[in-house]
Amino acid sequence: MKTTPVPCLERAGLDGWMVRLFDRIEESNLLWLTALADDCEATFGDVLIDLVPSYTTLLVVFDPFRMTPCEARQQLIDILARLTPGQTGADGKLHELPTWYDQRTGPDLQRVADLSGLSIESVIEAHSSRHYRVFALGFAPGFAFMGLLDEALTCPRLDTPRQKVPAGSVAIAGRQTAAYPVVTPGGWNLIGRTTARLFDRNREGFSLLRVGDRVSFVPVDQAAFEAQGGDITPANRESGQ
């Protein structure tokens, strides 16, 4: 179902406006949100400090020495008045992330299988057979929230987060999936590991994934995973560790 935005603007401090376009998560939101972000970049130019897109909103942060909130608001109203969504399919770079799904790298595969009533093989099949959209980045540099997951795989976060989730871990929670760019604590269900470098401070653009991009997880075996530099050190089986 296509939704048309009913925008509203909410004050976000001295130097920001929150542009709220939708009230629930739909993949089609991204076509509007990326179009809005593009127009803001072009219109605000170097007065723009930061843009933070997320599932239903765009936070616009501007230079409060060169523009008042009132002026910024008027610009946003003008942008919203002429806003049209981007074209379906034409947007969003596709990334294929080589992923070794295994109980050593994905210690929660069995839990997900148990919760879904599927075999481990079917869980892997269900996870790797879709293209996901990046809805938002946050939590850590380069951490992309992607969806939507096959409804059958929906599972809650761990009751107790792991203290250390290995870098590259591919994980699911709710109807979302993600890959951890660096070692962090984390409460999502680990089902595999990718060799993709998700965040690299020396790369142009730094983050592999951007909001609006499409992602597919491509199963590889251990040999291919290792050949591509993958770290096979097992993740902690128990949460809270």
Minimum distance from residue 150 beta carbon to another protein (Å): 20
Would you count residue 50 as binding another protein (CB under 8 A)? yes
User: To which residue do tokens 């099949």 refer?
Assistant: 125
Would you count residue 201 as binding another protein (CB under 8 A)? yes
Where helices occur in 2-130 by DSSP H, the ranges are 29-44, 69-81, 109-116, 120-128
Candidates 88, 138, 160, 231; binder of another protein (CB under 8 A) is 138
Would you count residue 36 as binding another protein (CB under 8 A)? no
Collapsed DSSP state (helix, strand, coil) of residue 61: strand
| The two structure tokens encoding residue 27 | 């993949």
User: To which residue do tokens 């080589």 refer?
Assistant: 98
- In 3D space, the residue among 6, 78, 17 whose CA is nearest the CA of residue 42 turns out to be 78
- In 3D space, the residue among 81, 124, 79 whose CA is nearest the CA of residue 101 turns out to be 124
Q: Which is nearer to another protein, 202 or 238 (CB)?
A: 202
- Using CB under 8 A as the criterion, what x/- string covers residues 76-115 for binding another protein? ----------------------------------------
Candidates 120, 182, 187, 197; binder of another protein (CB under 8 A) is 182
| Number of residues binding to another protein, judged by CB under 8 A | 45
Would you count residue 47 as binding another protein (CB under 8 A)? no
Contact 12, 59 (CB under 8 A): yes
Count other Cβ atoms within 10 Å, centred on residue 118.
17
Candidates 142, 166, 186, 230; binder of another protein (CB under 8 A) is 142
- Using CB under 8 A as the criterion, what x/- string covers residues 206-225 for binding another protein? xx--xx--------------
Minimum distance from residue 199 beta carbon to another protein (Å): 8
Minimum distance from residue 72 beta carbon to another protein (Å): 11
Pairing between β-strand 169-173 and β-strand 189-194 as defined by DSSP bridges: antiparallel
Minimum distance from residue 77 beta carbon to another protein (Å): 17
Q: What is the largest CA-CA distance in the chain?
A: 58
Minimum distance from residue 81 beta carbon to another protein (Å): 22
Q: Which is nearer to another protein, 52 or 126 (CB)?
A: 52
- In 3D space, the residue among 222, 228, 236, 223 whose CA is nearest the CA of residue 196 turns out to be 228
| CA separation for the pair 118, 124 (Å, rounded) | 10
| CA separation for the pair 118, 1 (Å, rounded) | 29
Point out which residues bind another protein (CB under 8 A): 10-16, 18, 20, 24-25, 37, 49-59, 61, 64-65, 68-69, 136-145, 182, 199, 201, 206-207, 210-211
